[in-house]
A and B are shown apart, each in its own frame.
Chain A
């Protein structure tokens, strides 16, 4: 049970971050509680809400930067206070957030929804010479826009896509980038002049065996080289060389690097809040933090063993809001979040495949959301259309916190084909360079 502040007699919920998780949490809570009972304040350092799945399309001219950005405050329902300010730190002992301008925000319940940030400076040389001229990332808006120009000028040579280390946001996006690059150069008529390579720290194209086998074989079909267990130690942007810690080198003419990810900097400045990488230690089933009972976390900001992806945040949202309500009522929390994630994977030429999985079930073939539905782990035009349509659903269904018909937070078990219990031979299909 929350001790309500004596002055206002209303519960103060402070939400840090107005991205996917912060926005949908604020909107769901606002609909649940009358304004007289609960004050909701959302803090973000800027007023630009980027539709992050759209970043993948910007480098290929399939999406315009202006089309994927909207003001953050406009996505919040009436009755939610929005503060545009940096966050200095959270003081867990006094239940207070200190903002960059010194303002102190006391809270009864705190939600950390500040996502993950890119840390290119953690990799030797990555943020040095060549960064944003020969080495790019499409994981932020500036990078995606600059990469669009670089691709436009690219007339042939070696394009290398490199994931430096896990975890990253949307672990399938770098693969999608490879597939789309293959289609993009084919359509420009210069595919035969471009050598495409995907260098990953994983031992296959993806983290889970069945999907990894499927995606590894798709890379092969599209003549994209796969370099596995490559741990990038140094990036020489000017010379165009990635050097692994084991001494292997991957040369490139155009580098697309996904830098290491960390939690937000203020988490590191807040004593007891984060782990070594500034992610918030969070119960994977209730979304309550393990650092203090009145602190919750959602989405990329947590350390839960799910993908850092918008769909995860979306599914977490329903459980999180339910649990904040239970916490305020002094009721036991609901431990029902199962790690459900659902992603469209663009494969180029107007096709996509879909994967659906959770903590316990890896992505499997079949159909979603039931035996009759969109195909899983199989290329189709329907999935590509689904991916394009999802942008509308994001702004008009997901962020406002409306339930999407037929898509609940728990992973549907029906419609999936479970693998035969034989040994996995996908490891043998890799191309080592």
Chain B
């Protein structure tokens, strides 16, 4: 466990940079994290980010890529274009939620 500073605020993150407490997140932090990853957040990115946060607060874990593709309104192919390093993990980190449990 360590801390990172986004938008001038200290937040708790795990070893891989995922937020420990999604309540510490705000949109400005997402923009900073995305910029560091070389992504300029557009409407489609925000659609995914908001869907991920909603799923997390409803179900206790972020969605897998397949569920994102079925339910977020953004197809899997586009998800990879938006978040090239793997949509589930990359978008979850930018969305300020823990790493999706996904695979068993």
Contacts and interface: CB of A to CB of B under 8 A. Distances in A.
B14 to A, nearest CB: 14
Contacts of A167: 103-104
A231 interface: yes
Contacts of B71: 276
Contacts of A277: 66-67, 70
Nearest to B67: A276
Given A166-B102, A166-B104, 8 more contacts: A165-B64, A231-B86, A233-B76, A233-B77, A246-B86, A260-B66, A276-B67, A307-B104
Nearest to B103: A166
Interface in A87-143: 122
6 contacts: A166-B102, A231-B65, A233-B76, A245-B76, A246-B80, A246-B84
Nearest to B81: A245
Nearest to B89: A229
B52 to A, nearest CB: 14
Contacts, number: 41
Contact of A233 (B80, B84, B101): B80
Interface string B65-104: 1110011000011001000111000000000000001111
A306 interface: yes
Given A166-B104, A231-B86, A306-B104, A245 B70 contact: no
A260 B76 CA distance: 14
Interface of A: 122, 165-167, 171, 201-202, 207, 229, 231, 233, 245-246, 260, 276-277, 305-307
A202 B102 CA distance: 10
Contacts of A171: 104
Give the dominant DSSP class at A's interface.
Answer: loop
A276 B70 contact: yes
Interface size class of B (residues with CB under 8 A): 10 to 19
A305 B103 CA distance: 9
Which A-B residue pairs are the 9 nearest by beta carbons? A166-B103, A245-B80, A276-B67, A276-B70, A276-B71, A305-B104, A165-B66, A207-B103, A167-B104
A397 B100 CA distance: 38
A223 B83 CA distance: 33
A171 B65 CA distance: 18
A87 B65 CA distance: 29
B80 to A, nearest CB: 4
Contacts of B104: 166-167, 171, 207, 305-307
Nearest to A171: B104
B68 to A, nearest CB: 10
Q: Most chain-A Cβ atoms within 10 A of its Cβ — which of B64, B71, B104? A: B104
A305 B101 contact: yes
Contact of A202 (B65, B85, B101, B103): B103
Interface string B50-70: 000000000000001111001
Given A246-B80, A260-B66, A276-B67, A229 B102 contact: no
Contacts of B67: 276-277
A229 B103 contact: no
Q: Most chain-A Cβ atoms within 10 A of its Cβ — which of B65, B71, B103? A: B103
Contacts of A202: 103
A165 B68 CA distance: 13
Contacts of A305: 101, 104
A167 B65 CA distance: 12
A357 to B, nearest CB: 11
B97 to A, nearest CB: 17
A124 B70 CA distance: 15
Nearest to A122: B66
Nearest to A229: B86
Nearest to B55: A276
A233 B65 CA distance: 12
Contacts of A245: 76-77, 80
A307 B104 CA distance: 6
Interface string B1-32: 00000000000000000000000000000000
A220 B80 CA distance: 30
A256 to B, nearest CB: 20
A201 B80 contact: no
Contacts of B65: 165, 231
B59 to A, nearest CB: 9
